[in-house]
A = this chain, B = another copy of it.
Amino acid sequence: MIIVMNPRCSAEHTDNVVALLDRMGLAGWVIEGASQKVIEVLGGNGDIDRGALECAPMVDRILDRADPILAATREPGDQTKAVPLGANATMGGQKLGIIAGPCAVEDRERLLEIAHAAKEAGAAALRGGAYKPRTSPYSFQGHAEKGLEWLAEAREQTGLAIVTEVMRCEHVERVAQYADVLQVGSRNMHHTHLLATVGKQSKPVLLKRGWCSTIDEFLSAAEYIMLGGNRNVMLCERGIRTHETYVRNTLALALVPELKRRSTLPVVVDPSHGTGKDYLVPPMSNAAIACGADGLLVEIHTAPDRAWSDGCQSLDLKEFASLMEGLKPIANACGRTL
């Protein structure tokens, strides 16, 4: 059970509720976010005097669910929030937000060549990993700060926004200096301290769904971020792990309309990780837009067969241009522009 306090309540008010709980033989756990004050009720087994709590000063409402979604809930008539994608674009508006780039930042020249091609084809942002989460400790872990510098140079040359992953709390500040959007990857969707840390700075966050997470866990992860005060969150579906083996992951596109129904946050789809096969990226990009996605996150590379990671799911630069060309009529049919 959760007691939602009025955001303007004082410490005295929350103390009062905790004391009330104490007299009932219960404990209260106080959570103070940038604009939320909430008290979790602990130790009960159902027989709680709800009326007394509801009448306490500054108590707004009592919720039975253990994991409520309080921020960014969509009410009837609400619009999707347009989250900035650098200075010149947004994710969640009428224009689709296309983010493209290599899995990992490999070297400066290759990155710049990719950036220019992405820009040319109509992308709004460049993605590229300077810090790479890898299953094995013996795999390339990214060029770190050097990679960030190259990304910043690519932005200067092309005007593309920079989207890059941050994996460690102590890197957040540094990555935020270079990037326009901080990506929290699938492996870190449950890394609550990282979520809280990116929630306390001001750069928008692209949050990827864990590959075995429920929609409630996904929205709760977004809640961790927003609790810190940062409301600029984009949600990204990137496929779940199932019994299927012809794909790397099963892209669960019904999540897109479901997320948009429950929340005002914009929704992005990653058809590259979501399928693991280059030839499935274009049809699934079309499908993602057709069911309401606000944008795409696509892996592209100058020479996918020589990529340091994820080559088989990356498009080459020509294929990406052709993907963008093919998306146009679908986007228009959905009342969106590219």
Contact = CB atoms under 8 A, between A and B. Distances in A.
Q: How many copies of this kind of chain does the complex include?
A: 4
A136 interface: yes
Interface string A60-73: 00000011101000
Contact of A220 (B135, B245, B252, B258): B135
A9 interface: no
A202 interface: no
Contacts of A70: 138
Interface string A30-55: 01010000101011110000000000
Contacts of A116: none
A245 B137 contact: no
Interface in A142-181: 167-170
A284 B291 contact: yes
A173 to B, nearest CB: 14
A338 to B, nearest CB: 12
Contacts of A68: 136, 138
A247 B258 contact: yes
A96 B289 CA distance: 20
Contacts of A193: 167-168
A90 interface: no
A137 B223 contact: yes
Nearest to A46: B305
A212 interface: yes
Nearest to A311: B45
Most chain B C-beta atoms within 10 Å of own C-beta, residue among A211, A244, A261: A244
A279 B291 contact: no
A72 to B, nearest CB: 13
Interface string A238-259: 0011111111001111101110
Given A40-B139, A211-B212, A330-B333, A283 B279 contact: no
Interface in A200-227: 210-212, 214-217, 220, 223-224, 227
A272 to B, nearest CB: 12
A102 interface: no
A137 B223 CA distance: 7
Contacts of A123: none
A191 B191 contact: yes
16 contacts: A2-B138, A43-B306, A43-B307, A43-B308, A44-B306, A168-B193, A169-B170, A212-B241, A215-B246, A244-B252, A251-B254, A254-B274, A254-B283, A257-B279, A330-B334, A333-B333
Q: Which 4 A-B pairs have the closest CB atoms?
A: A212-B212, A290-B290, A67-B136, A329-B333
